[in-house]
Structure 1
Amino acid sequence: MIKNIAVLGMQWGDEGKGKIVDLLSKNSNYVVRYQGGNNAGHTLLVDKKKTILHLIPSCVLYKNVKAVLGNGVVVSLPDLVKEINFLKKNKIFIQDRLILSNSISLIFEYHISLDRAREKNKESKIIGTTHKGIGPAYEDKIARRSIRISDLYDTNYFSYILKKNVHYYNFQLVNYFKKNPVSYKKIYFDSLKYFNKIKNMIQDVSKLLNKKIKKKSKIIFEGAQGSLLDIDYGTYPYVSSSNSSIGGIITGTGLGIKNINYIMGISKVYTTRVGNGPFPTELFNDVHKYLCKIGKEFGSTTGRKRRTGWLDLVLLKRMIKINSISGLCLTKLDVLDNLNEIKVCIKYINKFSKKEINFYPITQKDWEEIIPVYKVFKGWKKSIRGIVLFKDLPVLTQKYISFIKNFIKIDIDLISTGPERNNTIFINNKIKTFVNYKN
């Protein structure tokens, strides 16, 4: 029996993890975010009502489920409180069921200012960040100057370390980037104001989760971003600043790997990314316009138009291996309904030698020399939105999915056929039992 499920993005994020976590959360006890920050955007659509989350896990619509932010998450206190108040205005009360790790590193105004300054500086490498201060906050963590949420209990220590950090960042902002300095006093008093609103939510998350696992609680681990944005295994340097692959769960919660029963990979049936960086199957034609329009491919956090491309099975297969995926969930299948033909990338060749590339590209030069080779499918030209049984899909759709399954060599356990919670095909009965879902 499956008790604990990890949900991981297999692409560059925006795979539809929010919907899947919401779906799986119905009869769970805890949903845990373990990395990233409010640069993530998870969209839930239930009964045509849209809820967009950035920090709080995608279980908020169930009153029986508790939401947890692990130590691997970086948190902006003003944005956290803003999100709590947003949910409260929409009659979703999370205050009494939100738990924050006592080891969370905080994001401050100086992180955001530096993030923006770097992205607008002509001499810097433009990554295409969300300007939320995520990267600088993780830099502080690695450099051992991070201010953690528990540090705010001791106002003298908080004042001491904050002054040092403000001085460190203002020196860069003023002298190198020619930007305005941030105010120590404002950050200090604002931080304590927001801290007082959430300090009753702080716990030792590692201790809590280990205890709950012994008691057979049902726990979902919700990944942010996607594995191709992982700081170690993604398309470096055009990546996020945390481990969005499987390892992030272990370091971001304090749990051992044996406590995860099932690892679900989430992949769109096409590919998108926001920001700069390699994208072998990227489209620039009418299909790109179609995918953006029908798939509503605009960032939940920034509103930026996403880059789109065909499904890349080469990259997908690699991410499946790295993450030890148990089964795959395909999302946005209905977006392909009106296409005359559908392509999937099955290998790369070198554009000069025309030889197949049998290694994972590392350098910028490697990526630039790639030409994707496609398998072409005839489009089914029929609406499949809302179908909940695999046998009811058009034959051409079934063939398309079967090819993906055979290529990646793992089971496809879940298929999303629309944005609503109930627009889902359950293929694995163990997952259906976990949710206690009835068609």
Structure 2
Amino acid sequence: MAANVVIGAQWGDEGKGKVVDLYTEFADVVVRFQGGNNAGHTLVVERDGEVQKTVLHLIPSGILHGSKTCVIGQGVVLDPEVLLQEIDALRERGFLERDEQLLISEDASVIMPYHRLLDILREKAKGDDKIGTTGRGIGPCYEDKVGRRSVFVRDLLDEERLRAKLEANLAEKNVLLEWHGEDALEVDALVESMLNYGRRIEPFVGDANRFVYDQVSRGRNVLFEGAQGTLLDIGLGTYPFVTSSHTTSGGVCVGAGIAPSQIDGVTGITKAYCTRVGAGPFPTELDDEIGQHLRDTGNEYGSTTGRPRRCGWIDAAALRYAARVNGFTGLAVTKLDVLSGIDTVKICVGYTDPDGNEYDEPPMDPQVLETLVPVYEEVAGWSEDISGVRVRDELPHEAKHFLSRLQTILEVPITLVSVGPKRAETIVVQNIYR
């Protein structure tokens, strides 16, 4: 398979960064196709005898492999300040030594300061009805893209075009900012700061859509890296408790400029349990000592915001939905080690409503979903430390049974199992590029 997609199968934070980092060893190109710096992918690798942790928000997780090309596609909304911070940090640590390692789409929309301000102000104004946005300006930037008001990366390289767009946009944005009690933004200062960013990122800017198409057409191994998760998709998730982009496999086509027929495989990433950040229904949430065990043992605190994540049992009914809308050809299960020490592990296989009606998939209407009660299947837990296991058959019987039940329920083969945060702490059942 030459073109493979990695998709979060839950509400995000499934460990996609580690999986992408692993698969990058066999890929030539890694492409981020949607979202913004509201995503946070954490990589833990050993380098020069030292275990190092790297958190990325925009640059694809394959950047730690120096011989690969990483692409930020046009479906991404780009905060140039955050991007340059990542570039500087990677260069300081010796990970981004050549400009050719990174390609930024000239057609990507730029997150402006007014996007961040409006994001925070709108969320604050909602009070108890807030949805839990990260305040990074992602939603307002996508709004401008749909509203045909985008400032693109290419505009940062052309003062005349940039000024014309910002003058038009600030005529509206300043009215909104003043309505929220904020000072108006000044055009000249904004133009100058954006041009400065443009000058710094110009060496990386190019026609990413054509580059990705050419790589796929040549049969090179291309890996498409998703951000967030299926249930946060703007169209297929638990709206309005969603992100502002298409996080599902269909988003690859519009976010990276390739045809559906060019995608060879889609790997869904799921934790061995489930987490969610922000507001919204969460049927299997555990507000007890087991939930706290999952949070503490799994270090479930946001890599972007630091917020503690809500934790619960794995939801196979929701995974069934994710497998259907994404077309999963394989499943990677992360953080299996976090379940060690729990006597009985539960798998949600469906739901019932107050009238006794049964559901085998979650309805995306949050008002309905929050009324449902999960139906659980219980399996025996295990107590062994499994972080040193590298072959599936060497897992405890109970852990193998848990994986087998998950595979049977979803009718999707498990291709990878993560048993710890480090790159090496992984069981590769099937290499997606062979």
- 1:49 corresponding residue in structure 2: 52
Equivalent residue for 1:121, pick from 121, 125, 133: 125
- 1:62 corresponding residue in structure 2: 65
Alignment RMSD, CA only?
A: 1.4
Distance 1:39 1:198 in 2: 20
Distance 2:69 2:116 in 1: 29
Single out whichever of 39-48 and 213-222 deviates more from structure 2: 213-222
Q: Note the C-alpha offset of 1:359.
A: 6.1
Residue deviations 1:371-418, cap 9 Å, x none?
A: 001111221111111311011001111111111111011111111111
Output the amino acid matched with 1:28. Answer: A
Q: Note the C-alpha offset of 1:360.
A: 4.0
Q: Note the C-alpha offset of 1:90.
A: 1.6
Instruction: Please say if residues 118 and 124 of structure 1, whose CA atoms lie closer than 8 Å, have aligned partners that are also in contact.
Output: no
Q: Is 2:172 aligned against 1:172?
A: no
Q: Is 2:112 aligned against 1:104?
A: no
Gaps of 5+ in 1: 435-439
Instruction: Please say if residues 36 and 134 of structure 1, whose CA atoms lie closer than 8 Å, have aligned partners that are also in contact.
Output: yes
Distance 2:347 2:382 in 1: 15
- 2:24 corresponding residue in structure 1: 25
Q: Note the C-alpha offset of 1:124.
A: 8.1
Q: Note the C-alpha offset of 1:116.
A: 0.4
Q: Note the C-alpha offset of 1:169.
A: 1.1
Equivalent residue for 1:383, pick from 385, 393, 397: 385
- 1:437 corresponding residue in structure 2: none
Output the amino acid matched with 2:40. Answer: G
Give matches, 1:203-222, under 5 Å.
203-222=206-225
Instruction: Please say if residues 56 and 69 of structure 1, whose CA atoms lie closer than 8 Å, have aligned partners that are also in contact.
Output: yes
- 1:336 corresponding residue in structure 2: 339
Gaps of 5+ in 2: none
Residue deviations 1:242-280, cap 9 Å, x none?
A: 000011100001101121111100000100011111111
Instruction: Please say if residues 317 and 360 of structure 2, whose CA atoms lie closer than 8 Å, have aligned partners that are also in contact.
Output: no
Residue deviations 1:66-115, cap 9 Å, x none?
A: 11011100001111111100111222225331101111110000000000
Output the amino acid matched with 1:45. Answer: V
Output the amino acid matched with 1:151. Answer: D
Instruction: Please say if residues 236 and 364 of structure 2, whose CA atoms lie closer than 8 Å, have aligned partners that are also in contact.
Output: no
Residue deviations 1:324-379, cap 9 Å, x none?
A: 000100000000011111111011001x2223135642433312320001111221
- 2:394 corresponding residue in structure 1: 392
Distance 2:359 2:403 in 1: 25
Q: Is 2:87 aligned against 1:78?
A: no
Instruction: Please say if residues 29 and 222 of structure 2, whose CA atoms lie closer than 8 Å, have aligned partners that are also in contact.
Output: yes
Q: In structure 2, the residue corresponding to 1:27 is in which secondary structure?
A: coil
Distance 1:119 1:229, change over 3 A: same
Distance 2:346 2:135 in 1: 34
Q: In structure 1, the residue corresponding to 2:163 is in which secondary structure?
A: helix
Instruction: Please say if residues 386 and 422 of structure 1, whose CA atoms lie closer than 8 Å, have aligned partners that are also in contact.
Output: no
- 1:91 corresponding residue in structure 2: 94
Output the amino acid matched with 1:20. Answer: V
Distance 1:340 1:320 in 2: 28
Q: In structure 2, the residue corresponding to 1:60 is in which secondary structure?
A: helix
- Taking structure 1 as the reference length, the TM-score comes to 0.95
Residue deviations 1:12-38, cap 9 Å, x none?
A: 100000000000101321100000011
Output the amino acid matched with 2:205. Answer: I
Distance 1:359 1:288, change over 3 A: closer
Instruction: Please say if residues 334 and 385 of structure 1, whose CA atoms lie closer than 8 Å, have aligned partners that are also in contact.
Output: yes
Residue deviations 1:196-248, cap 9 Å, x none?
A: 01112111112111212222211100000011100001110000000000111
Q: Is 2:409 aligned against 1:407?
A: yes
Distance 1:41 1:359 in 2: 28
Instruction: Please say if residues 283 and 374 of structure 2, whose CA atoms lie closer than 8 Å, have aligned partners that are also in contact.
Output: yes
- 1:151 corresponding residue in structure 2: 155
- Number of residue pairs aligned between Structure 1 and Structure 2: 429
Q: In structure 2, the residue corresponding to 1:361 is in which secondary structure?
A: coil
Output the amino acid matched with 2:380. Answer: K
Q: Note the C-alpha offset of 1:186.
A: 2.4
Output the amino acid matched with 1:43. Answer: T
Give matches, 1:398-437, under 5 Å.
398-428=400-430, 430-431=431-432, 434=434
Q: Is 2:250 aligned against 1:247?
A: yes
Distance 2:364 2:40 in 1: 28
- 2:349 corresponding residue in structure 1: 346
- 1:285 corresponding residue in structure 2: 288
Residue deviations 1:284-312, cap 9 Å, x none?
A: 00011111110000000000000011000
Instruction: Please say if residues 38 and 57 of structure 2, whose CA atoms lie closer than 8 Å, have aligned partners that are also in contact.
Output: yes
- Taking structure 2 as the reference length, the TM-score comes to 0.96
- 2:375 corresponding residue in structure 1: 373
Single out whichever of 179-188 and 3-12 deviates more from structure 2: 179-188
Distance 1:385 1:113 in 2: 43
